[in-house]
Amino acid sequence: MPFRLTQKRRQPEPPPAPPRPAPSPLDVVLAYHQTTKHAPYRYARSLGYMDWDTQPNPFRRYAGARLVTLDEIAPGAEPSWDAIFQLGAITPRPLDRRFVSQLFYDSLALSAWKEYGDSKWALRVNPSSGNLHPTEGYLISGPVAGLLDSAAVCHYAPHEHGLEVRRTLIAAQWQSLAEQLPPGALLLALTSIHWREAWKYGERAFRYCNHDIGHAIAAVAIAAAVMGWQVRLLETAPDAHLATLLGITGQADEEDEHLRIEAEHPDCLLVLYPATDPAHSNKLAGINDSEATEVATTNLVLPASLLAELTGSPAAGTPNRLSSDHHPWPIIEVVAEATAREISPEASYWHHAVDSASHPVTSSSPPARQIIRQRRSAVDMDGVTGMSSEAFYTAMSRVLPGLTPFDALPWKPAIHLALFVHRVDNLASGLYFLLRDPEEKGALQATMNPQFLWQQPASCPETLPLYLLQTGDMRQTAQAVSCGQEIASDGAFAVGMLAEYEASLRRYGPWFYRRLHWEAGAIGQMLYLEAEAAGLRATGIGCFFDDSMHQVLGLPGYRTAGQPSLRYQTVYHFTVGGPVEDSRLRTLPAYAHLGR
What secondary structure letter does DSSP report for 308? H
Q: Report cis status (omega within 30 of 0) of the bond before 366.
A: no
Distance of CA 205 to the CA centre of its chain: 13
Domains of the chain, with CATH numbers? 94-114+121-340 (3.40.109.10), 377-577 (3.40.109.10)
Q: Rounded to whole angstroms, how far apart are CA atoms 136 and 139?
A: 11
Q: Taking CA 356 as the corner, what is the angle to CA 350 and CA 361, rounded to the nearest 5 degrees? A: 125
Q: Rounded to whole angstroms, how far apart are CA atoms 70 and 162?
A: 5
Q: Rounded to whole angstroms, how far apart are CA atoms 417 and 435?
A: 7
Is this prediction's pTM over 0.85?
yes
Strand pairing category for 287-288 and 291-295: antiparallel
Q: Rounded to whole angstroms, how far apart are CA atoms 555 and 105?
A: 43
Report the 10 Å Cβ neighbour count for 216.
32
What secondary structure letter does DSSP report for 379? S
Please check whether residue 572 is in contact with residue 212, taking contact to mean a CB–CB distance below 8 angstroms: no
Q: Rounded to whole angstroms, how far apart are CA atoms 164 and 154?
A: 5
Distances (CA, A) of 73 to 97, 161, 179, 368, 373: 11, 11, 31, 13, 11
Q: Rounded to whole angstroms, how far apart are CA atoms 251 and 135?
A: 16
Distances (CA, A) of 449 to 58, 169, 467, 500, 518: 44, 57, 14, 17, 28
Closest CA relative to residue 134, chosen from 199, 70, 187, 221: 199
Please check whether residue 210 is in contact with residue 518, taking contact to mean a CB–CB distance below 8 angstroms: yes
Greatest CA separation found in the chain? 115
User: How does DSSP assign 119-130, residue by residue?
Assistant: EEEEEESS--GG
Closest CA relative to residue 264, chosen from 279, 280, 245, 283: 245
Distances (CA, A) of 338 to 31, 175, 282, 308, 507: 11, 33, 31, 25, 16
pLDDT of residue 292: 36
Name the amino acid, one letter, at 549.
M
Q: Rounded to whole angstroms, how far apart are CA atoms 242 and 315?
A: 13
Per DSSP (E only), the strands in 71-185 are: 110-116, 119-124, 135-141, 152-157, 162-168
Please check whether residue 220 is in contact with residue 107, taking contact to mean a CB–CB distance below 8 angstroms: yes
Closest CA relative to residue 394, chosen from 423, 430, 365: 365
pLDDT of residue 324: 94
Strand pairing category for 119-124 and 110-116: antiparallel
Please check whether residue 221 is in contact with residue 231, taking contact to mean a CB–CB distance below 8 angstroms: yes
Q: For the chain (length 596 residues), average pLDDT per consecutive 10?
A: 52 66 90 96 93 96 97 95 91 97 98 92 96 97 97 98 97 95 95 97 98 98 97 94 94 80 96 74 46 46 94 93 95 97 89 65 82 96 97 97 94 97 97 96 95 96 96 98 97 98 95 98 98 97 96 76 76 97 90 83
Q: Taking CA 436 as the corner, what is the angle to CA 433 and CA 442, rounded to the nearest 5 degrees? A: 70
**Exposed (0-12), middle (13-18) or buried (19+): which is 43, by Cβ within 10 Å?**
middle
pLDDT of residue 536: 98
The H-or-E segment that residue 190 falls in is strand 186-193
pLDDT of residue 66: 97
pLDDT of residue 355: 63
Q: What is the 3-state secondary structure (H, E, C) of 478-540?
A: HHHHCCCCHHHCCCCEEEEEEEECHHHHHHHCCCHHHHHHHHHHHHHHHHHHHHHHCCCEEEE
Q: Rounded to whole angstroms, how far apart are CA atoms 208 and 353?
A: 26
**Exposed (0-12), middle (13-18) or buried (19+): which is 263, by Cβ within 10 Å?**
buried
Q: Rounded to whole angstroms, how far apart are CA atoms 321 and 324?
A: 8
Name the amino acid, one letter, at 368.
A
User: Mapping DSSP to helix (H, G, I), strand (E, B) and coil, where does residue 244 land?
Assistant: helix
Name the amino acid, one letter, at 228.
G
What secondary structure letter does DSSP report for 75? -
Q: How many residues does the chain have?
A: 596
pLDDT of residue 297: 40
